[in-house]
Structure 1
Amino acid sequence: MYLLSSRVCVKCPRCYVSFCIKETQRCQSTAEPLVQTNFLKGAPHRKHPGVTNLKTVRLPEQLQEAALSILRRAEVKDLTERAHKLSNFLWSRKRAVETSQLREKAILLERKYLDEESDTHTDAIDHELEARIRKQVLSELRRTTYHRTLLRYDKELGLLYMAARLAGGYAAVTRALNEIKKRDPLFVPYSLLDFGSGLGSCTWASHTLWGDSLKEYVCVDSSGDMNMLAEQLIKGGDELDNPLIKEVYFRQFLPVSPKVQFDLVLAAFSLSELATLNERINVIYTLWRKTNQYLVLVENGTKEGHQILMEARNTILKGEEQVTHDLRKPAVFAPCTHELPCPKLINQPVVPCNFPQFYYSLPLSRSQDRQQEKFSYLIISRSNGEKALKTEGLDMGRLTAQVHRRPRHVQCQLCCSNGELRQLAVTARHHGKDMYRCARNSDWGDLLPVFHEEEHTENDENL
């Protein structure tokens, strides 16, 4: 059975395909066939320009050997089990509740309890009643408010983090940076700033893609122990005088001068470590001021991670007056195809905009597992004000869910340049063979051309 909507339930596969085609015609235009010379540029369909996904990512061999060497020497007790618990904890972690939110919640609770007491107390509220209500409010706030645990990354927690998150974090950052590499081949970064650098995953991922051009890596992390572990990894796990990556500088604070800019600025799984909204906003402004070309933010693919990135997106796009020394406008490079409100935050129920990336974990035992990292990311570029994401005149949509390949059609969910989230059934008959084959060779996170909406016909409305 194919459950298509609250109105239609089609059992016959042939009728199902027919319905999908009609529904596509209703929601989309008459879908001009994709012209191969305009989009493919002679490339095979499996490598069309919208493909940004990577196959299963492996850690660089030298990084993996260095990490295993450090972990074996440390002899951490119950390493695998504790690393798994840490990974689950980080995934489920939420932002701290803001003081203003607590105040609003307390006022609502106070009114609620006063209304309940009004039936039995008609006179003026006495001090005893006020104290009792205050106690009830505080008790309810303690019971229902999320209590965020502050993590202090000492050496032991850093080792657990290495076992739990080094491979997954590297895979997510590599996938995000690969989009810049694929779509902007002329980008040749010279300098990199990694905020909240941790174990240096961003440094390794950037070195993998642009090692020939990058001449300066500045890693900023407030934990001195994490900086030491990251430096050990760069030195191959030993105190070598010849590091595997040259010109890497570790700092505990961001560079002071607002005029110092870096070609590539990254913050992976770092904004979520900041306790308050004000802290995050201040850091975002600082990182944007230090961005010469691309700012890349990566977080867990949870509702919290996605919302943190949308905070950052709105902060930069709406707060241009905060940056006066660089007049180039910010433009969303990826994954959004527009600068309108995120449709996934508007629709109910709220589903995070996230993307999967397969990777091989650290082989702490004899086997090396293939795992999946779900992450959210945001790339903002310095531009001349270009807003729409286009390739050869075609509007591009982002595949924001699993692609379902069915007989004679492909079911896709696309985030379009007009800010809408659309379901599209791609067929060779209505979209052309090239478009159909591109859709069949695309996956979650890739880009596809989309078509503009037209007026509904009477027949379409009667579907």
Structure 2
Amino acid sequence: MDERELARATEALVSRYRSVAPATAPILASRVHVAAYAAYRMPATHAALAKALGAVADRGLAPRSLLDLGGGTGAAAWAAAGVFESLEAVTVLDQVEDALALGRDLVADATSPALSGATFRQARAGAWPDLEADLVTVSYVLSELDPQQQDALVADAMRRGGAVAVVEPGTPDGYARVLRVRTRLIDAGWTLLGPCPHAAECPLAQGDWCHFAARVNRSAEHRRLKGAELSYEDEKFSWVAAAAPGVAEPLVAEALPGRILRHPLKRKGFVEFQVCRPDGTAGREVISRKAGERYRNARDAEWGDVLP
């Protein structure tokens, strides 16, 4: 495949993911766009999902089955297989057959039985097959839809899953979409698994946005396609996950002490955090050397982690 075509397709993908308007056509509109996505966007999507699903696993969720709505080449499937040892079955649904075909090729030699036996099936939003799974993922899909379609997709995910995880770009508009999903989940009686340590109104809803970062190592091809020099990039993302009534109870016996919202400031003798607290507020927390083991844990804590 011509590298200039890949570079142009990558540039188009970058522009699309930065856009705030719903897509008027499928993002993966051709084989070239699918190849560009696999080289450029799939590693970033995988990194974001691995971090979000890792936080969900820390709450105790151990799904045996995964259903990924709009999953393309299978980034969520790879992330889930790397996080959940319990995973046995994976189904990826998407409207673009070229993306699904590449996804099948990518898992053909996977060492995970859940991945190597994964089903990649063509389907459109609003006409998903009648399937169910322990965990349903919806990642980087809502930006392609208008608000009514977004609500319908989230409802579809909730009908099909015992738990739902939604990941969007870590931009103000991506966060706004995640916040809308969060409200739907809470209103339906679902229990948040993350990142929020509470179900109150988001304290960042005015003038700020909740987002996190995942480090992505760039391959040589990745750097060429993007015209980049650094060997890595940080994928910014926003996310929310929740469990249905009956599923949530065993997972949330212990409340989260808080979620770290920014890079910690590590000084001599103390660590300063910006955190979201269980009481629904956000602000500054300082852990000093006097806290002993908690201070030692704080020295290792990073943006997006649970507060020690």
| TM-score, length-scaled by structure 2 | 0.86
- Pairing partner for 2:270 from 398, 409, 414: 409
- Name the structure 1 match of 2:18: 92
The reply on whether 1:396 has 2:289 as its aligned counterpart is no
3-state DSSP of counterpart to 2:117:
coil
The reply on whether 1:342 has 2:202 as its aligned counterpart is yes
8 Å contact kept, 1:389–1:417: no
- Name the structure 2 match of 1:219: 92
Report the alpha carbon displacement of residue 172 of structure 1 after superposing the two structures with TM. Answer: 0.7
Name stretches of at least 5 consecutive residues in structure 1 with no aligned partner: 1-73, 97-147, 321-328, 450-463
2-side partners of 1:399 and 1:332: how far apart? 16
- Pairing partner for 1:289 from 159, 163, 181: 159
| Bigger share in strand | 2
8 Å contact kept, 1:410–1:440: yes
- Name the structure 2 match of 1:305: 174
- Name the structure 2 match of 1:353: 210
- Name the structure 1 match of 2:104: 231
CA RMSD of aligned residues (A): 2.8
Amino acid at match of 2:120: Y
The reply on whether 1:250 has 2:129 as its aligned counterpart is no
8 Å contact kept, 1:91–1:302: no
- Name the structure 2 match of 1:280: 150
After superposition, residues 11-90 of structure 1 pair within 5 angstroms as 74-80=1-7, 82-83=9-10, 85-90=11-16
Per-residue CA deviations over 1:359-391 (Å, capped at 9, x if unaligned) read 2123317998222111111111124576x9674
Q: 1:207 to 1:285 in 2, by over 3 A?
A: same
Amino acid at match of 1:339: A
8 Å contact kept, 1:390–1:396: no
- Pairing partner for 1:167 from 39, 43, 62: 43
1-side partners of 2:5 and 2:230: how far apart? 18
Amino acid at match of 1:268: S
- Name the structure 2 match of 1:317: 186
- Name the structure 2 match of 1:206: 80
1-side partners of 2:8 and 2:31: how far apart? 18
2-side partners of 1:249 and 1:336: how far apart? 32
3-state DSSP of counterpart to 1:396:
coil
Amino acid at match of 1:219: V
Per-residue CA deviations over 1:127-161 (Å, capped at 9, x if unaligned) read xxxxxxxxxxxxxxxxxxxxx65445222211222
Report the alpha carbon displacement of residue 93 of structure 1 after superposing the two structures with TM. Answer: 1.1
Question: Between Structure 1 and Structure 2, how many residues are aligned?
Answer: 297
8 Å contact kept, 1:362–1:368: no
1-side partners of 2:79 and 2:178: how far apart? 20
**Which structure: larger Rg?**
1
Per-residue CA deviations over 1:90-133 (Å, capped at 9, x if unaligned) read 3421144xxxxxxxxxxxxxxxxxxxxxxxxxxxxxxxxxxxxx
Amino acid at match of 1:380: A
8 Å contact kept, 1:360–1:368: no
Give the fraction of aligned pairs with identical amino acids, expressed as a percent. 24
- Name the structure 2 match of 1:66: none
2-side partners of 1:379 and 1:411: how far apart? 27
Report the alpha carbon displacement of residue 352 of structure 1 after superposing the two structures with TM. Answer: 1.9
Name stretches of at least 5 consecutive residues in structure 2 with no aligned partner: none
| TM-score, length-scaled by structure 1 | 0.59
Amino acid at match of 1:229: L
3-state DSSP of counterpart to 1:344:
coil
Q: 1:156 to 1:369 in 2, by over 3 A?
A: same
Q: 1:426 to 1:202 in 2, by over 3 A?
A: same
2-side partners of 1:251 and 1:442: how far apart? 41
The reply on whether 1:262 has 2:133 as its aligned counterpart is yes
3-state DSSP of counterpart to 1:338:
coil
- Pairing partner for 1:443 from 292, 299, 302: 302
After superposition, residues 120-199 of structure 1 pair within 5 angstroms as 150-153=25-28, 154-184=30-60, 187-199=61-73
2-side partners of 1:192 and 1:155: how far apart? 26
2-side partners of 1:279 and 1:248: how far apart? 25
Report the alpha carbon displacement of residue 231 of structure 1 after superposing the two structures with TM. Answer: 2.0
2-side partners of 1:95 and 1:337: how far apart? 31
Q: 1:377 to 1:95 in 2, by over 3 A?
A: same
Report the alpha carbon displacement of residue 424 of structure 1 after superposing the two structures with TM. Answer: 1.7
2-side partners of 1:298 and 1:231: how far apart? 23
8 Å contact kept, 2:93–2:123: yes
8 Å contact kept, 1:234–1:243: no
8 Å contact kept, 2:31–2:98: yes
- Name the structure 1 match of 2:244: 382
8 Å contact kept, 2:203–2:282: yes
Report the alpha carbon displacement of residue 249 of structure 1 after superposing the two structures with TM. Answer: 3.5
8 Å contact kept, 2:13–2:27: no
Report the alpha carbon displacement of residue 234 of structure 1 after superposing the two structures with TM. Answer: 2.4
2-side partners of 1:168 and 1:191: how far apart? 23
Amino acid at match of 2:232: R
2-side partners of 1:261 and 1:397: how far apart? 32
